[in-house]
Amino acid sequence: MNRIHILGRGAIGLLLANKLSSHTKSTLITRDDSVENYHFIDKDKTSVIPVNQTTFASLKAKISTCIIPVKAYQLNQALHTLIPHLQDDADIILSHNGMSDIAEIAQLLKPSQGLYFLTTSMGGMKPAANAVKYTGAGLTQIGACNQIAQTRLPSLFEALFKPSLSAVEQVTNITEIRWQKLCVNIAINPLSALLQCQNGRLRAPCYSKQVLALLNEACHVAKYEGVELKLLAELERAYKVMTLTAANNSSMAQDIKLGRRTEIDAICGFIVARAKKHGLNVPENELLWQQIKRKERA
C-alpha cells in the first residue's frame, strides 16, 4: 500500500486523510500525539478516520510523500521544519487558500524532489480539535510546480488520488487554476468575514458591485502576471461557489469569529502587492485587505 504523510490536523488535512486512507496508509504529523482518534462527521453519522499519527521527533524514517495543507502564513515555517525529514526524491504537495511564491519554495528543495499544488472545493469545518465536519462535496485538482513533478504527476495521480477521490483531476496549468481559486477566495472570504455571514448571502444584489470591482482588479493584475482570466468566467465561478456553499461559513469568517489570524495577506494582500509591482491601483482589494487586518488586530 502507498504511504502518505499529512502535515497538521486542519480541516482540509483531515478531509483528505479520511478519503486517502481507503487506498493509502496515511499518517498525520502533529505537534503532539495527545489526540487518540480523529473523527469524520457527515450529517448525523460519525466515524473514526483510519489514520496514524506521529510527530517530527518520533519519525522513524524519511518521508516520501507529504501533503502540506496549512495556512498560507504558516507555510514557510512548515517547510523549513519538514525539509530535513524528506527523502532525496520526495514529493511535496502544497494546499492552501491564496497565493504563495512557488519559485521561492522550489529553491528550498533538491532537484530530485517534486513540488505540486493541490486545490479542493471540498467543504469542512472543525467542531473540535480531533474532528472534521463534512460540509460539501467538491472538485480536487492537482498540478506540478517544478520539472521533476511534471514527470511524476501521472503516476502520483494514479496511485494516490484517483482511487480515493470521486471528483479529482490532474491539470497541466496549475498556475491558472490557482488564480481562478484566488478569485473565488477574493469574492467570498473577506466579505463573509466582515459580515459574519454564510456564503450564500453574498449573492444579494447589494454586494454585486463590490464583487465585480474586486474581481475586475484581480483579473487586471493577473494579466500583468502573464495569466489571462476572463472577468465574466471568474464572476460565474465565484457565484457558482456561493450557491454550492450557500449554507457554509468561509474559513476566513471562522478565523475572524474565533480571533485567529487570517490568510488575507495571501488573498487581497497578494493582489495589492502584485499591483504595486506593476504600478497598478487596486482600491477595492486594498480596502478589504486593510479592513480584515484591522479586525485581526482587534
Residues 63 and 157 in one domain: yes
Contact 6, 17 (CB under 8 A): yes
Beta pairing class for 123-128 and 131-136: antiparallel
Averaged pLDDT, groups of 10, the chain, 298 residues long: 87 93 92 87 92 92 96 93 96 94 92 96 86 87 96 95 92 96 97 96 98 98 97 97 90 93 97 98 98 93
Q: What's the CATH code of the domain at 202?
A: 1.10.1040.10
Are residue 220 and residue 95 in the same domain, yes or no?
A: no
- Please indicate, yes or no, whether residues 130 and 277 belong to a single structural domain of this protein: no
Total domain count, the chain: 2
The DSSP bridge partners found for residue 193 are none
pLDDT at 125: 84
Amino acid 16: pLDDT: 94
Q: Are 167 and 283 part of one and the same domain?
A: no
Would you give the distance in Å from CA 112 to the centre of its chain? 24
Query: Both 47 and 160 in a single domain?
Result: yes
30 lies in the same domain as 165:
yes
C-alpha to C-alpha distances, 107 to 37, 113, 148, nearest whole angstrom: 36, 11, 13
Mind giving me the DSSP string for 14-63?
HHHHHHHTTTEEEEEE-S-------EEEETTEEEE---EEE-GGG--S-E
The whole-number pLDDT of residue 124 equals 84
Domain final position from 148, 171, 194: 171
35 and 127 part of one domain: yes
- 128 and 22 in a single domain? The answer is yes
d(CA 242, CA 147): 35
Q: Are residues 90 and 45 in the same domain?
A: yes
Q: Which of 266, 201, 203 is nearest to 235 (CA)?
A: 203
Res 239: pLDDT: 97
Which among 118, 148, 171 is the end of a domain?
Answer: 171
Domain that holds residue 200: 175-297
- Distance between CA 218 and CA 215 in Å, rounded? 5
CB distance 133 to 12 below 8 Å = no
Residue 121 has a pLDDT of: 85
One domain, residues 37 and 75 = yes
Q: Which of 113, 138, 171 is the last residue of a domain?
A: 171
Same domain, 56 and 121: yes
pLDDT of residue 144: 97
Does 94 share its domain with 160? yes
- Return the CA Rg of the chain: 19
CATH number at residue 8: 3.40.50.720
One-letter amino acid of 75: L
Helix axes 283-297, 174-195, angle to 10 degrees: 60
Residues in the chain, overall count? 298
Locate 216 and state its grid cell.
475586475
